Structure 1
Amino acid sequence: MDKTTQQALSKVPQVTLLFWIIKVAATTLGETGGDAVTMSMNLGYLVGSIIFGVVFLVAVAAQIRATRFHPFLYWLTVIATTTVGTTLADFADRSLGIGYPGGASLLFALLMISLFVWYRTLGSVAVDSVHSPAAEMFYWVTIMFSQTLGTALGDWAADTAGLGYGGGAILFGSLLALVALAYYCTRISRTLLFWAAFILTRPLGAVVGDFLDKPLNAGGLALSRYSASAALLAFIVACILLFRQQAAPALKRESIRVERKPETIDQ
């Protein structure tokens, strides 16, 4: 076997329990951090989206240029996607006046289009196929749409649906538990379950983030958005430092050999 048959390097982490713990913390940080800029600093949703959009583009460019998996860079990029997702969802839902149903429907359509184009272009949307610049670009754009959709779903459930922050956390936590049960008890596509869980962790983070920083009369704990964001960031850094993460195993790129069977002559 020549050197062209080799395992490509992956720059995304293995999907383990630690991955999901950090993911939920990162999505919660995205909610508190995004609200800190748009609300506490009174910059508004549009300006906040522009600021975090620039951070997102810089982080993705750095992630694509990297030659191997860097935990801090990867999770910085995830946090960038979730903060820009928070401000974009709020801008779509509130500033554009289309409401939570309209915003969620639009974002769901964008997410499905991203996954469809990714699959049609590269043939797979699995995490273990993310080992080329093109796949990474699709991966991060899809994540950004999923984070934005998750924000809209979380706000919709907590506010419009009347579930409150506690009810929203129970709802999305229960849905995540069902996804985990399906993973261990069924043969449903692991790629489908991954993206379902990835989307659902965002509204869970959204309602938990709102629960931390919203006023007491609105059902929250009225914590400072700055202190809540700092605590969440410290927790994420501690997880990265204390627990080692490895890169996800990548699919093998193997040359295809076509062997021709010798022809037989019937006599």
Structure 2
Amino acid sequence: MTHETSQMPLPPAARSSEDSSGRRLGWNKVPEVTVYFWIIKVLCTTVGETAADLLNEKAGLGLTGVSLLMSGLLAVVLVFQFRAKTYRAGVYWLAVALISVVGTLVSDNLTDNMGVPLETTTTVFAVILAIVFVLWYRRERTLSIHHIDTTSRESFYWLAVLFTFALGTSAGDLLSERMDLGYWLSAVLFGLAIAAVALAHFKLGVDAVWSFWIAYVLTRPLGASIGDYLSQPTSDGGLGLGTVITSVLFLAVILGLVVYLSVTRKDVAQPQRVGYPA
């Protein structure tokens, strides 16, 4: 959904930290925003919903125990993500899949274990996300995902991703409870909202960065609605596939797409000549 004018790619010999004019030369640590990006993102959000439910039901650790386990796994994967010199599809999307589960569990812990109202969690996560964006922009003078090429920018990026998942979970649950739309109708509603954001960007010139992040938040309740529709019993308005089958099915599709992208490198950004600020 984002589009920026591409910059001159560097020849292999010039891929160093700075050139003679002092401008940074780097590789973007996140994928290009293509149709593959949005497909895998929605699939990851679906897995985040069904896997969180599955682990909570089957692991016997309780919501808190599962949250600690998945947070630990996420921390390990993020270490590999930060240490990587370039974008690696497998590591990146594994981090997104895990952070989708953790973001869901953060919201569920607050509402289910601590009794915090969804109105409160939705507001708090929205405020925290806004603070992350403000701090990110004040430090880097950009929120562009086309220039995630420093540790600082990558740190802000993953913080924003985490709170978009938490916000999307709380806001989606709040809307579904208040409107009682059912799973498939909720999915249609959130799909139309994303389409409206895309239309506003491409036809009305709404800022690319904000369009991207708004759509990023909306994909969370979209994916959750799809996951619930597939996994929940028919008596509750779902298809009754269960969390195991739904999680395995979507994970298999994610794995296939990530392998494809790893081989073809269709979502790899070209190295860019980046100045300060970007």
**Common fold: TM-score over 0.5:** yes
Q: Does 1:241 align with 2:259?
A: yes
Q: Distance in 2 between matches of 1:207 and 1:180?
A: 20
Q: Deviations over 1:186-206 (max 9, x none)?
A: 221100001011110011011
Q: How does 1:111-130 map to 2 (within 5 A)?
A: 111-130=129-148
Partner of 1:168: 186
1:155 touches 1:207 (CA, 8 Å); kept in 2?
no
Q: Distance in 2 between matches of 1:166 and 1:199?
A: 18
- The range that moved more, 94-103 or 240-249, is 240-249
Residue 252 of structure 1 corresponds to: 273
**C-alpha distance after superposition, 1:147-183 (max 9, x if no partner):** 1111112222223321111121111101000011112
2:122 paired residue number: 104
Partner of 1:85: 103
Question: In the superposition, relative to structure 1, how do residues 227 and 250 fare at CA in structure 2: closer, same or farther (>3 Å)?
Answer: same
| Aligned equivalent of 1:262 | none
Aligned to 1:188, the other structure's residue is in SS state: coil
- Mapped to 1, the partners of 2:189 and 2:120 lie a distance apart of 21
Structure 2: gaps spanning 5 or more residues: 1-18
Does residue 180 of the first structure (1) align with residue 198 of the second (2)?
yes
Which deviations, in whole Å up to 9, do the C-alpha atoms of 1:9-31 show, x marking residues without a partner? Answer: 11100001111011000110111
- The residue type equivalent to 1:194 in the other structure is F
Secondary structure of the 1:7 match is strand
Q: Deviations over 1:126-147 (max 9, x none)?
A: 1012100111111001100101
CA distance in 2 between partners of 1:35 and 1:182 (Å): 35
User: Corresponding residue for 1:22?
Assistant: 40
Task: Give the Å deviation of 1:125.
Answer: 1.3
* Equivalent AA in structure 1 for residue 244 of structure 2: Y
State the AA in 1 paired with 2:97: I
Q: Aligned equivalents of 2:194 and 2:238: distance in 1?
A: 23
User: How many Å separate the matches in 2 of 1:31 and 1:137?
Assistant: 24
| 8 Å Cα contact 1:14/1:249 also seen in 2 | no
Dislocated runs of 4+, deviation >6 Å: none
Alpha carbons 1:7, 1:252 under 8 Å: kept: yes
CA contact (8 A) 2:59 2:66 kept: no
> How far is 1:247 from its partner?
2.6
Specify every segment of 5 or more residues in structure 1 that has no aligned partner in the other structure, as ranges.
257-267
Matched, 1:147 2:139: no
Superposed displacement of residue 222, structure 1: 2.1
Which residue is 1:40 aligned to? Answer: 58
Q: Distance in 1 between matches of 2:60 and 2:171?
A: 24
Q: Which residue of 2 aligns with 1:52?
A: 70
Stretch deviating more after TM superposition (115-124 or 141-150) = 115-124
What is the 5 A alignment of 1:205-244? Answer: 205-243=223-261, 244=264
- 1:136 corresponding residue in structure 2: 154
One-letter amino acid of the structure 1 residue matched with residue 194 of structure 2: L
Q: Matched residues, percent identical?
A: 32
Instruction: Please say which of residues 201-210 and 2-11 is displaced more in the overlay.
Output: 2-11
User: TM-score if structure 1 supplies the norm length?
Assistant: 0.90
* 113-122 or 70-79, larger mean C-alpha shift: 113-122
Pairwise CA distance, 1:42: 4.0
Distance in 2 (CA, whole Å) between partners of 1:242 and 1:49 is 31
Do 1:4 and 1:255's aligned partners in 2 also have CA atoms closer than 8 Å?
no
The 1-side partners of 2:63 and 2:179 are apart by: 23
- Cα distance in 2 between the residues matched to 1:96 and 1:69: 38
User: Partner amino acid for 1:29?
Assistant: V
Amino acid at match of 1:253: V
